[in-house]
Amino acid sequence: MDQAISKKQDNNMRKVALTALAGTSIEWYDFFLYAAAAALIFPKAFFPETDPTIALLLSFSSFAVGFLARPLGGIIFGHFGDKIGRKKTLIIALMLMGISSTLIGLLPTYGIIGITAPILLTLLRFAQGLAIGGQWGGAMLLVTESAPSNQRGYYGAFAQAGAFIGVILANLALIITSASVSEEFFYTWGWRIPFLASVVLILISMYIQLNLEDTNAFKELVSKKELLKEKVIQRSPIIEAVSKYPKRIILAAGAFLSVQVTFYILIAFMLNYGVESTNMSKDDMLSAVLIGSAIAVLLQFVFSSYSDKHGRKGIFMLGAILTGIWAFAIFPLVDTGNYWLIVLSITMGLTFLAMMYGPQAAFFTELFSTEVRYSGATLGYQFGAILGGAFAPIIAVMLWKNFGIFWVSIYIACAALLTLVSVMALTETYKSDLNKSD
């Protein structure tokens, strides 16, 4: 009997983990598809009337708008995620991303509707940012709050893996589309096809609605509130989280800084840098990022499982240290113009990031109590994203053009140092009880 119950629990956990993986993969696919398009397509399609460097900066600026929206999305979805549940907010976030990304695929370019085109593009990017701001907390908590206490890192990595798989899917979509049509057609209409594929997110949202339940931790919280008959007036979960955990939110944002800075330099800035400085083709650069992401997504599960046994902080700090060191090898390897050395450069960079990003879902989950967990974890994550990822490609372009590529390496190393200091200041969490208030 016990064995049958255990088998059913394992099957349910796998279903939750794989569903979260599917949802986050397509969600991040949409978000990263924009990153690749901002580097390769949008400067010509939406900002054609300016100098190429200015067009690239404007394109990356529209990319940054998504990050500016992420904390707002985190606040909105965090509030409702702690109030009405993880599942419902995740469904809304997935729907919002699916609709906004599909509309980008239908958007007329500058040549057709003029200045209205980049304005609408930026508004849709803002909607993407709202969606990703809410999605991460919902998917991450749906998995980690459902997982056995000694496997939170491993199962949390399913939600995290969606980021790397999203990069793979986005790059594959652009490579396949580019190879299937002429270059002229690709830059006029072909690039729209990967965006239109985002309608899949709507189907995944429907599946989650019909087949998954909310987490036990949240259901237990609801039961406690009903038992107490809500005798005290509760503040907004966001206000409660900021009031109760201000230091942890700030340090969590700092812990995420290196991941965001380095990640977006490797998957977005690197596409343009490789094509312009080494004369590599866009497909070569896209495939190099694809290979690095595929290796990192597998290793992420190894690092996350390690954190279940030995703690989150050690592997996280090691990733920050190695990222800071590797920063000075990345661009010399790319500058050789050798494809496989470029693959090595990107792969090792993403591997060191996986040491941090893999265990991060469990780490951030364990930092906050149930009643404000969605809000607290999301605020830390999204403020780290806006500080690190929003302007990373823009800063990298400006440093490269004005001072040389070596200063981009210094930028990556400084972000790694700040992450190292932040993680050192946080407490170890891997043995914590998620149902215990502190």
Residues 281-301 pLDDT 10s? 888 998 999 999 999 999 999
% of residues, the chain, pLDDT over 70: 88
Residue 139: phi and psi, rounded to 5, are -65, -45
Mean pLDDT, rounded, of the chain = 84
Count Cβ neighbours within 10 Å for each residue of 402-420 and write b for 16 or more, e otherwise: eeebeebbebbbebbbbbb
Q: Which of 397, 424, 426 minimizes the C-alpha distance to 411?
A: 397
- Backbone torsion region of residue 230, taken as left when φ is above 0, otherwise alpha when ψ lies between -120 and 50, otherwise beta: left
In this structure, the number of other CB atoms found within 10 A of the CB of residue 319 comes to 27
Q: What is the pLDDT of residues 371-428, one digit of tens each?
A: 788 788 888 888 888 888 778 888 999 999 999 999 999 999 999 999 999 999 999 9
Q: What is the pLDDT of residues 34-46, one digit of tens each?
A: 878 888 888 888 8
- Under DSSP, the state recorded for 197 is G
Here the tokens at position 65 are: 């708008």
Q: What is the pLDDT of residues 101-132, one digit of tens each?
A: 899 999 998 888 988 999 999 999 999 888 88
The interaxial angle of helices 312-335 and 270-278, nearest 10 deg, is 20
**Banded model confidence at residue 172, pLDDT cuts 50, 70, 90:** confident
**Ordered structural domains, the chain, with CATH:** 9-425 (1.20.1250.20)
- pTM equals 0.80
Instruction: Say yes or no to pLDDT of 28 above 60.
Output: yes
Measured CA distances, 377 to 255, 263, 288 (Å): 12, 20, 32
For residues 342 and 290, the answer to whether their CB atoms sit within 8 Å is: no
For residues 364 and 56, the answer to whether their CB atoms sit within 8 Å is: no
Instruction: Say yes or no to pLDDT of 190 above 60.
Output: yes
**Banded model confidence at residue 29, pLDDT cuts 50, 70, 90:** confident
For residues 361 and 236, the answer to whether their CB atoms sit within 8 Å is: no
